Each structure stands twice: as C-alpha cells, then as structure tokens.
Structure 1
Amino acid sequence: MEYLLDRDKIDRFIFKNGKYTFRRRSVTYVLPLPTREPERAKFERGFSAITGGVIRKVNGKDVHVETNDDIIEEIIGSGKFQDDESKTLFIHFLKDQVNELKEGKVTSLSQLERIPLTDNVKEQKGEIDLIHFFYDTFICDNSEQIKDILQHYDDSDLITEILDLSSSVVTKRKKSSNYYRCLFPGLKEQFIKDLGNLVKNPSFLVGHISMLFVHYTFVAMSQLVLHTNKITGFNQEKLQPVYYILQWEKAAKWRDSYRYGNKMLLEEIDGFFAHEHALNILGMNTFSTEGNQYYHDLKEKLKESGPEAEKQFIQSVYSWLNEVYQPNTNIDVETYTMDKTLDIAFEDFIAAIRKGISNEVNSRYYKAFEAIISKFFRKNGGPLGTILSLSQEQLLLLVAVSITKERIELKQLWKELEKRGVWLDHHSKEEVVKVLDKLNYMEKKSDSGDAQYVKTIL
C-alpha cells in the first residue's frame, strides 16, 4: 500500500473553474460556524430553535416544522363549531399558542418538538448546522436511549394534540449520514447522564433543557478548538481547563477567568479556519477511507504502518505543497528535508494554508463563534472586554445535574463542574458557596465547616 495524498481527489476538491479555492466539508466537518454573515444564527429566541430541531431529529423527523397560518386554516377547516363566535375564539387561541411556540415558550416536554426554526431562511442554515453538530456529537448512536429518556413522562397537552391533527405535522425523514464526529466520548456520556437526571423533574427540564443544550454545545466547540490546535497532541479523554466567572463578580486581569477564559478562546479560534481546509486535504489519502479524521488519527494510522509509511506520507505532503499549492496560490511553503517529522510536516502544512485564508473568511468564522459567547456566556468586563461567565440560573442548572444523590461533598462539586467543562478559581468558588448557602442548599457536618455538603436541587 502507498501512503500518499490522493491528488486526484484533492484536485476535484480545491479547483473551481481552474482556480484554487479554500473549501471545507468534503471528508471532514470541524465546527458548525458559517463563513457567510447572513447564515449566522442570531439566537433571537435563545437556543430553543436548535433544541426543537434536535428533538425532531431524535424522533426521526425532519429538522423543519411548520407553524404558520396554513396549519391554523387546515385545523379550523377540519373542525366543527357551534357558531362563529366559538370559531373566532378558537382561532385566537390557536394563534396565541403558535406564537408562544415561535418564541420558544413551552410548558411541557411534548411541546419542545414543535419549536420552529427562525423565520429567516438564510439564518436557518446556521441553526440547522448547529442541530447536526449537537446531534452527531452527543446523540448519534444513542438516539433510542435519548428518545426513551425524553418520552419517559407522557405529558402531552391540548395544544400539541391539536397541532398534531394537521397534515403538516413534521414528516419522517430518510436516515441521513452523520456530518460531525464525537471527539469527546466522556463529555457525551456526561450529557446523557445529565439529561437522564434532569428528566426526573420534568418541569425543571422544560425550563432548562435549552440551557443544557447550549452549554454542552459551547463546551464541545471550545474543546475542539483547543485540542485541534494541539495538532497531534489532541487528547480525547481529558478536557482542557476553561475558566468562568460568575455574572455578579468583578473581573480582574489577575483572575483565571480573564487569562484562561474568553481571551484564551478567542486567541485560539483566530485563524482556526485553516484547519477546516487542511484536514479535508489531509483526509484525502490513499490509505484510509474514513471521514472526519484529525491529525492525531492520521499519526496513529501511520505509526501502525511503520516508519517507512510515515516517511512516504511526509514526503507526499511536501510534494503537494511545492507542486500544487505554491504554484496555484503564490504562497511560499517549506520544503522537505530528512529531519522533518510528521508533526513538523503538519505544522508547515497548516502554516501554508493559513497564509492563504482571506481576512474576510477568518473574520466571519471568528464572529460566528463569538456570537455564541456574546449571547449566552458574556459578562461586560469594561476595559477587559468580554469575560466568559455563568448566570445564577446557569450555575444552578450545573449544580442540579451534578448531584445524583441526596447530597455530595462540596469539594466533589468542583470536580463535577470540571467534568462539564467549567473551571472556577478560588474567588468564584467562594461566591458559589454564598449563593448555595443563601438558597439553603448547603449543609455543614460540623461547626468547623471542614466537611461541607451540597444538597440536591432537583
């Protein structure tokens, strides 16, 4: 077997009308971030539109759902009314309920599936991409388990039953292939456990499920950025610390939440689009047909095949840079020498690709990531800029899912939060204790306070 880049495949991927293009998403999908501003999700209704789409996909249905005037007319047409007044009242009731769903306001689990995508057709593309990312990362291969969790309680209500009378109810879709890959199995397992824990209290779940979904979406995206930037050092078993501050705290440069929070993430995402293009090219090779392979995957395969295979692939990478990339982009590239390792080859490859990505593409990609932070995790740090933060409601949700017994030790709570991608410095931990104590969720075993416990919230 030869261990080379597949130039024929790559040529078909990169050339459009004879011109080199920095495309992505052929054999590898990395992040659900659009590079066209109109397609960026604006989250006008929070994360509920994405939540509704995910649940429809779990139930084997299309991610789209109709909640417009046509549905109302269809339902009215199929009903019988005593008089015009009762018909008018029913129409008014239906319109109010449909508007509530459009705004993401639900009162039962069964209504979650009826939350529609945004009315803006272009923005729907960004929302659908997030739906696929979440589903593929946290649900794929466990869809039946998730379906059982969500259907554990039969809480169907009047408005859901009425809307289901319409023939426009969400249609079944053909089984589609996965777009993204779950790169953090431990995080996926944690999400499933948390969802199972939340469903014990359906009313709490209904009010917080979208908050849980956006939290896990952001953690998965952040960790993908941090670990992909480590090239072959990608660690699927261990999350990298990302520090948050609580909304009501005062930010400071010396706080971990400033140095290892939003500032760190935005530095890491800057120029990240190069990985989207590079990983697709590297994934088009002669020794593997698997999709969504990252640098560490390729290194492992080549290691299994022996040093000669690795050497051949390294030479192939530099040959492509010098014979294809440089002539078609006029970008200077590194050349092969005997001391080049696979890690160095990947770094040289990414550096060359990064030089070719336009500022416009990098900026729009960056802003799409920043938009999620600004909408759901932003604290205005004044001259320090945006600080990654948690509101009290977000904090209580994470505490709630962290406790599966009647109580846990306080020191265990910090470990549980870290399993869910949240690190807090000493000052933030003190604030957490104050909040939990004020809400009567703290319990001391002795007056000394050495052994402190957090009581269950659910």
Structure 2
Amino acid sequence: MTLDKFIDPFSRDLPTHESGVAEKNTLNSYFPIRTNEKPCDWEAVIGLLLQVVLRKGIGKYTIEQFEMDCQGELEEKLGEDEFWYVLKQMYFEQKDILKISPKMLLFKAKKGEYMSVDERLATMFSNHLMDLKLNDFDVKSNFLEREFLVTLEKKLEVKKAAPKTEVPYLPELTQAFRQDFKFLSSRPKYLLNEFESFLSFYAFTYTSQLSLSLPDWRTGKEPKAKPLYFIMDHERASKERTYLKKYGYQLMSESLIRVFPMLTMLEMLQPSKGGDETVKVPLWEVSRRIQESKYEHLEEHLKQFAFAFKKKREIPGEMKDASSALDWLENILSLSEAQFKFGGKRGLDDKYANSVEKIMAAPFIQSRGRSGRVLVLNQDYIILLTNLVVGEKDKLRFHELITAFEQRGIFVDKQTEQELIKFYERIGNVERMSDSGDAVYVRKTI
C-alpha cells in the first residue's frame, strides 16, 4: 500500500462533525478481549488455530461419526469384533483419541464447540503466524493410531488461507512467536503437552508488551521489548529489589488501563476503503506515514475530528496547543482516554483492564504480602521458555538465553539470574565452565 493511498482516505474518512462520530467504542483489531468477557477455552482456541495453519477443517463431521468410521475400518482389517471394544475403551471413552496427534484437536474447532472469544484469540495468534502453513505433523504413532489419522484425513475439508487483516503491532514478538511455533510443531508430542501453556504465555506477553508500547506511537518506529521484571515463583520479593518495584506488576497493571481507549480510537482512525486499505495498521505506523506524508489537509482534518469527538462525547477541559498533524493526533488519543474519567463511561477503562488482567495475566501474578503483587514464572513456564529459546541448537550461553527471554518480554534482575542457574543445575541441563554467566551453557530438556 502506498503512503498516499493510506493517508488520503485515512483523513477523508474521519468525521469532521459530531453527528458523524460513533456513539460506541468498538474494538475489532489488535486485541481479542471485549468488555465483560468470559474466560476462553484453550482447547477450542488450539483447534481454531490449527484449522488456519493446516488449511483444513472438520466441517460438520462429528467425533461420534469418526468413532463409527474407525470402527468400520478396523473391524474389517482386524477381523475380531471384540477387539474394537478394547480400542473404544482405550481411545474414545475418555477422549484420549485427541492426544495421538495435534490434528485431532480440529474437532474442537467445530461450530458449537467454541465461543466468539475463542475465535478472536485464534485470529490474534494466526495473525502472529503470518500465513504460516503446516502440511502435517510427523507423529511417531503405532499401526492403530496411523489408521485413525488416515480415517480422519479422508473427512477433512480444505480451507483457504485466512486473509491478512493486520500489520503486526509488535513485529519482534511476532517473529519470536512464529519461530517458537515452528519449533514446537516439529515435535508434535511435546506440542500436545505444552500447547495450552505456550499460547497462554504468548497471550500474556503480547498483552503486557502491547500495553507498555502503546504510548511510544509518536516515534513512528517498530516497538522493541519494554522492561518488565519477573521472579521465580519460589523467590522472595523484598522491597529492595528496585527493578521489581519500578518495572514489575504495578507498571503492567497501570498500563493495561490504556489498552481499550487507545485501541478503540485506533479503530476509528483506520481507513475504511476496500482492497489493501482494509489491512489495519498500528499507531506507530500511522505516525510514520503522517510524518512522511505531503497531504496538505491532513492537519486540518485531524483537528476537526478532535473537536467533533470532544463535542460528541461531551469531554470537558481544554486540549493542548497543537501545531502539527502529530500534535492533533496526540490530542485525539488523550481524548480517547479522557472520555472514561467522567459521565456514563466513567471507570469503564478500569473495568476492562481488570478483566484483561484476570483472563490474560492471572497465571503470572502472585501476591507477596507487604511486597504486594509481583510477576512470576513457575518452573513449568521456565522449562518451556528455555526449550523454545534454545530451539534447534544443542545449547546456549546463559547470557544469550537471557537476551532471548527479553525479546519475548521477560526480564529478570541479577538475583533471579542466579536462581535460574541454580534451577538449571538441579534439573541437570546446565554446563558451568566457570562462575561467570558467560561460561554457563544451558541445554534443552527435550
């Protein structure tokens, strides 16, 4: 998409009179949570995501029909009717059939098996995968399980690739997610065991890093990971640990309040034309294109929209002096937050932030008495993250591991670094050449 194609409709689409300003705030991009949201079903999210990357769907085919088809196929080959009832008990009665391959989780993507929040979460993850396509999973299975998979494959429907709807807001994190997903997909049994934890981790780190990055839109540059400090779940969180206090839970919690206001305003700022212009862009990309634009009426259009929005939402107070298009965009974003400080919308941003915290961040928060709430990683998440970071390599220097953690939004202080090394030594996947971090190597556990 050329710059002029974006900036011209971007400004012309903005209402310049209060009658054209929408009554409600809508959020259809960059974040899956809506107001008064219910917790998601991770199995459904996984099934919907697999449907996208495999380009195959389950359609109207039910697991009950699948069981009958498997029975028909195997009874004919095995020649013993009684043997089927053993297999039924082994694979179907407790739904253990879903554990033989990730592909089986496509049954969770069947209409009626998922809620709208599950679909939006799956869409968020598929956007991060950027058209990644998997042909299949190379599962080491026995004769019977291979027969089950062949039977399933015959019933799957081919699906088209999902259309691109967004430019990634956090490109560095998107690249890490795509890389980690490919690594896990090459180890399908491990993927099955860790799929929910993997998506839960990335849902959280995307949420926290997005909230921290939103204020940096004016630079017009791709955001890099912002410091957000964690401890291991068994560590003490004393008040002397300044990084935890300054760049820990409190920072994240306060940052979540801006997610709904700023992203709903970003929704209003998107062009509404067809074709390429339906691909939505982040605030920092809007800023970059404004800075490079020669469209002469842009500043005036933004100014008129700012006054129209202020009047429509009856927002009191004065706007800051503005002498450029970016200044007016800053006023607009300030208004997006100000609308929730009074009147009928008062406190909605706080309620939304609390809902997001419960749904996306709960596994990573602990209360530590006088130290208050802190961000933590339990041992299971640490092992998963370590395996993802080491990836296809045999081992990685400890300081390189920490750098890769940071690229994924996880920062730790020196005290936690030492606790991590002790933990790796206990589970036996570390090589210490000396006492310095440079001479400590960490291996995968898989």
TM bucket, shorter chain = 0.7 to 0.9
Task: State the distance in 1 between where 2:220 and 2:422 align.
Answer: 37
> Gaps (5+ residues) in structure 2?
1-7
Cα distance, 1:270–1:207 mapped onto 2, change above 3 Å: same
Q: What is the aligned counterpart of 1:56 among 51, 54, 74?
A: 51
Q: What is the aligned counterpart of 1:6 among 2, 7, 13?
A: 13
Task: State the distance in 2 between where 1:131 and 1:362 align.
Answer: 25
Cα distance, 1:231–1:379 mapped onto 2, change above 3 Å: same
Render the CA deviation track for 1:363-395: whole Å, top value 9, x for unaligned: 245313432221x32334245454221111211
Residue 258 of structure 2 contacts residue 337 of structure 2 at CA under 8 Å; is this kept in 1?
Answer: no
Task: State the distance in 1 between where 2:102 and 2:10 align.
Answer: 51
Task: State the distance in 2 between where 1:64 and 1:247 align.
Answer: 43
Q: What is the aligned counterpart of 2:130 among 140, 155, 164?
A: 140
Task: Report the residue type matching 2:24 in the other structure.
Answer: T
| 1:274 Cα deviation after fit | 1.3
Cα distance, 1:299–1:193 mapped onto 2, change above 3 Å: closer
Task: State the match for 2:25 in structure 1.
Answer: 22
Cα distance, 1:115–1:266 mapped onto 2, change above 3 Å: farther
Task: State the distance in 2 between where 1:280 and 1:40 align.
Answer: 24
RMSD between superposed Cα atoms in Å:
3.8
Render the CA deviation track for 1:304-349: whole Å, top value 9, x for unaligned: 223844422332323422xxx52x4433364685646235323433
Task: State the distance in 1 between where 2:369 and 2:380 align.
Answer: 23
Task: Report the residue type matching 2:26 in the other structure.
Answer: R
Task: State the match for 1:367 in structure 2.
Answer: 355
* Structure 2 SS opposite 1:229: helix
Task: Report the residue type matching 2:115 in the other structure.
Answer: Q
Cα distance, 1:352–1:156 mapped onto 2, change above 3 Å: same
Task: State the match for 2:120 in structure 1.
Answer: 129
* Structure 1 SS opposite 2:316: coil
Task: State the distance in 2 between where 1:260 and 1:316 align.
Answer: 38
Task: Report the residue type matching 1:452 in the other structure.
Answer: A
| 1:33 Cα deviation after fit | 0.7
Q: What is the aligned counterpart of 1:304 among 292, 298, 306?
A: 292
Of 126-135 and 67-76, more deviation after overlay is shown by: 67-76
Equivalence map 1:171-182=2 (5 Å):
171-182=157-168
Task: State the match for 1:348 in structure 2.
Answer: 334
Task: State the match for 2:33 in structure 1.
Answer: 33
> Gaps (5+ residues) in structure 1?
none
Task: Report the residue type matching 1:390 in the other structure.
Answer: L
Residue 33 of structure 1 contacts residue 126 of structure 1 at CA under 8 Å; is this kept in 2?
Answer: yes
Residue 184 of structure 1 contacts residue 237 of structure 1 at CA under 8 Å; is this kept in 2?
Answer: yes
Task: Report the residue type matching 1:24 in the other structure.
Answer: L
| 1:83 Cα deviation after fit | 6.8
Q: Does 1:332 align with 2:319?
A: no
| 1:131 Cα deviation after fit | 0.7
Equivalence map 1:107-186=2 (5 Å):
107-111=100-104, 113-114=105-106, 116=108, 124-137=115-128, 139-141=129-131, 143-144=132-133, 147=134, 151=137, 153-155=138-140, 158-159=144-145, 161-162=147-148, 165=151, 169-186=155-172
Equivalence map 1:193-232=2 (5 Å):
193-198=179-184, 203-232=189-218
Of 189-198 and 242-251, more deviation after overlay is shown by: 189-198
| 1:93 Cα deviation after fit | 3.4
Count of aligned residue pairs for this structure pair: 428
Superposition TM-score, scaled by structure 2 size: 0.80
Superposition TM-score, scaled by structure 1 size: 0.78
Residue 27 of structure 2 contacts residue 34 of structure 2 at CA under 8 Å; is this kept in 1?
Answer: no
Task: State the distance in 1 between where 2:183 and 2:196 align.
Answer: 15
| 1:60 Cα deviation after fit | 0.9
Residue 407 of structure 1 contacts residue 456 of structure 1 at CA under 8 Å; is this kept in 2?
Answer: yes
Cα distance, 1:63–1:392 mapped onto 2, change above 3 Å: farther
Residue 252 of structure 1 contacts residue 384 of structure 1 at CA under 8 Å; is this kept in 2?
Answer: yes
Cα distance, 1:434–1:203 mapped onto 2, change above 3 Å: same
* Structure 2 SS opposite 1:389: strand
Residue 176 of structure 2 contacts residue 408 of structure 2 at CA under 8 Å; is this kept in 1?
Answer: yes
Task: Report the residue type matching 1:332 in the other structure.
Answer: P
Task: State the distance in 2 between where 1:36 and 1:118 align.
Answer: 24
Q: What is the aligned counterpart of 1:420 among 408, 411, 415?
A: 408
Residue 303 of structure 2 contacts residue 328 of structure 2 at CA under 8 Å; is this kept in 1?
Answer: no
Of 425-434 and 383-392, more deviation after overlay is shown by: 383-392
Cα distance, 1:401–1:94 mapped onto 2, change above 3 Å: closer
Cα distance, 1:345–1:412 mapped onto 2, change above 3 Å: same
% identical aligned pairs: 18
